[in-house]
Amino acid sequence: MNSTQEWQNVTWFEVDEHQLGQRIDNFLFSRLKGVPKSRIYRLIREGQVRVNKKRIKAETKLNIGDQIRVAPIRYEQKDENAVPVSDKVAQSLLSRVVYEDEGLMVVNKPSGIAVHGGSGVAYGLIEGLRAASGKKYLELIHRIDRDTSGLVMISKKRSTLKLLQDMLREHKIKKTYAAVVKGTVTLDRQLIDAPLHRYELANGERRVRVSKEGKESKTQWNVEERFMHATLVYASPLSGRTHQIRVHGLSIGHPLVGDDKYGHETEYKGPKPRRLCLHAMRLEIPGYETIEAPLPEDMQSLVAQLRAQKADKPVM
C-alpha cells in the first residue's frame, strides 16, 4: 500500500503575494493533496472552509494576509518514500512544451493525464513539469479534461497568471478545439447557445446538462470535414464552462466520438476511437503569437480511417 486514509486536523493557511487574486478552490486543489475535487467543493458549500472567519464561494478571490481555515477532513496520506513522478515521465512532459517565455509556458498535454494530481490520480501535468524543470512557481492558468489532449497554459510568474486569467474571464483569449463528433453535422457554421448547469452524481462525480437554470454558455462550431458516420468540427467556446463542448455537442444531437459520459448511447458505426476525440489545437492570446498543436497521432489515424470509409462509399 502506498497510501492510507487518515484524519486531518483543522488546517490553517495564510495567503502571501504569490496567491493574490487566486480563487479559493484553485488554492485548495494545490494544497489538499489526496482530497477529491468534489469533496473540496462540498467543504466550501457546507461552510467548512472559512476565509477570515467568513463563509465563501468557490470563486472567491484571495487577498494577501487572508486567513483560511479548513475543518478536519479525511484525506489520502501518501507514502513519503513513494515517487509520484518518474524522471522519464517528467522529462517527457517537459519535451512537450511548445511555447515558453519569461512568464508563460504552453504545453501540448497528451490524453490520459490530468492537469494536476488528486481525486485518485498520483500526479498530473503540473506536478510533472515542476519535477522536470525544478521551478518552484508553476501554476495552471486554466484546465482541460484528463481525456482531452492539447494546449494548456501555465504561468511562471504571478503577474502572468493574473493577466491571462483576467483575459480568459473577459473572453479575450480565443481557444479552438478539434472534435470528431457522431453523425453528419448539416450546418457549416453555427453558434450553439444553451445555458449549462453543473450538478453531482450520487458518487460525487461532476456532470453538466443544458438547463434554463444554468449559466450562459455559447460555442461556435465550424465544420472542417464530413464523413459517412462522423464530422470533424473546429469548436471555439465563447464561455468557459465545464465539459462545454461535449454537452453542447450532445444538445444538438452530435455527441463527441469516444465520450463515455455524454451521448455514449448514441449510435456510431465508424472506426472505434482510443479515447475522447477532443484536442485543444489553437490559442490566440492578445500580445502573443498564435500557438498551435497539430492533431495527435491517434486522432489523425481515426480521421484517416473515416476518410477511407467515405472513399469506399458506393456511388448510387
Q: Catalytic site residues? A: 145
Phi and psi at 314, nearest 5°, equal -65, 140
Name the residue with cell 513522478.
85
| In contact, 278 and 256? CB cutoff 8 Å | yes
Q: If you write DSSP's letter for every residue of 41-62 in order, what string do you get?
A: HHHHHTT-EEETTEE--TTPBP
The helix (H) or strand (E) run that includes residue 150 is strand 149-155
Name the residue with cell 465520450.
259
Chain mean position to CA 110? 12
| In contact, 267 and 255? CB cutoff 8 Å | no
Nearest to 240 by CA among 188, 166, 134, 305: 166
Query: Which residues, in sequence order, are CB contacts of 117 under 8 Å at separation 6+?
Result: 33, 84, 123, 124, 127
| In contact, 180 and 229? CB cutoff 8 Å | no
Q: Are strands 278-284 and 149-155 parallel, antiparallel or unpaired?
A: parallel
Nearest to 240 by CA among 162, 316, 143: 143
Phi and psi at 45, nearest 5°, equal -60, -40
